[in-house]
Amino acid sequence: MELRAGRDSDIDTWKEVTLIYNSALKQISTKLEILNDEFQHVHRYNPIEHIKSRMKTSESIVKKLKRHGYESTIQNMIEHVNDIAGIRVICSFTSDIYRIAEMITNQSDINVISVKDYIVNPKSSGYKSYHMLVTVPVYLSDRIVDTKVEIQIRTVAMDFWASLEHKIHYKFEGNAPEHIRNELIDCARMVSELDAKMLSLNDEVLNLSKKTYE
């Protein structure tokens, strides 16, 4: 599958696309690692368990463009595909999700375009995560390219559920049997209960620790 260059695009080859979006991923990943280190230094606690990054393949991008009725050009890809570069931030507790989102928002060179809170408003499948679409400037030798990156922030339990749901979705090509979809919804409820219990337990431990040192 091939992506053709658009006449008005500053980025005219897939090789250049890969360079720019990979550079954006590196910048966001480095920022998150620094913020995590700072949080450990100040609060003696790491809100981020680990960070995963990925670039969407050209084949996936072409399929997405066709699905939405767009011609397969570099220009359309840049304008209409928001998840070419993606970063997933995995944390321990639900409270960490909003703490990390706030830290990202406060970065002066990161522009938040949109937010989708699937924790407050889960998808009908039971999917829960916090999505941010941001732009970060990539500094090239002759210009600056504001590049879109999708950031997903979720707990370990949410990520485990989403990984299984993703495998099932592709196994059945989006048409899983109803009983399996219902089981996934039940599992999503259990994940929410587990996250709530773990957060409550952590808060209790922190409170007991404070009393010990008073």
Residue-wise pLDDT for 70-87, tens only, equals 998 988 999 999 999 999
pLDDT in the model for residue 43 = 80
189 touches 126 (CB < 8 A) = yes
Which pLDDT band, with edges at 50, 70 and 90, does 110 fall under?
A: very high
What is the per-residue pLDDT for 213? Answer: 58
Across the beta sheet with 111-117, the strand order is 48-55, 85-91, 144-155, 130-139, 111-117
Residues spanned by the domain of 137: 14-156
Q: Is residue 105 part of a domain?
A: yes
If one compares 174 and 153, the residue with the highest pLDDT of the two is: 153
Residue 86: closest CA among 57, 127, 128: 57
Q: Is residue 48 part of a domain?
A: yes
* Confidence (pLDDT) at 6: 44
Q: Judge whether 33 lies within some domain.
A: yes
Which ranges of 10-84 does DSSP label H, i.e. alpha helix? Answer: 14-43, 58-67, 74-80
In this structure, the dihedral spanned by the alpha carbons of residues 14, 33, 88 and 104, taken in order and rounded to 10 degrees, is -90
Task: Give the mean pLDDT of the chain.
Answer: 90
Neighbours of 111 (CB within 10 A): 14
CA distance 117 to 123: 10
Domain count, the chain: 1
pLDDT at 7 over 70: no
Provide the annotated active-site residues.
150
Tokens of 82: 């928001």
> Which of 46, 54, 48 lies closest to 26 in space, CA to CA?
54
pLDDT at 28 over 70: yes
Mean pLDDT, rounded, for 99-127: 96
pLDDT of 1 > 60? The answer is no
**Is the pLDDT higher at 45 or at 182?**
182
Which tokens hold the place of 93? 């507790």
Instruction: Between 207 and 4, name the one with better pLDDT.
Output: 207
Tell me whether residue 38 is in a domain: yes
Summarize pLDDT for 34-74 with one digit per residue, the tens: 999 998 898 888 899 999 999 999 899 999 999 999 998 98
* CATH number of the CATH domain containing 54: 3.30.460.10
| 133 in any annotated domain | yes
Residue 125 within a domain: yes
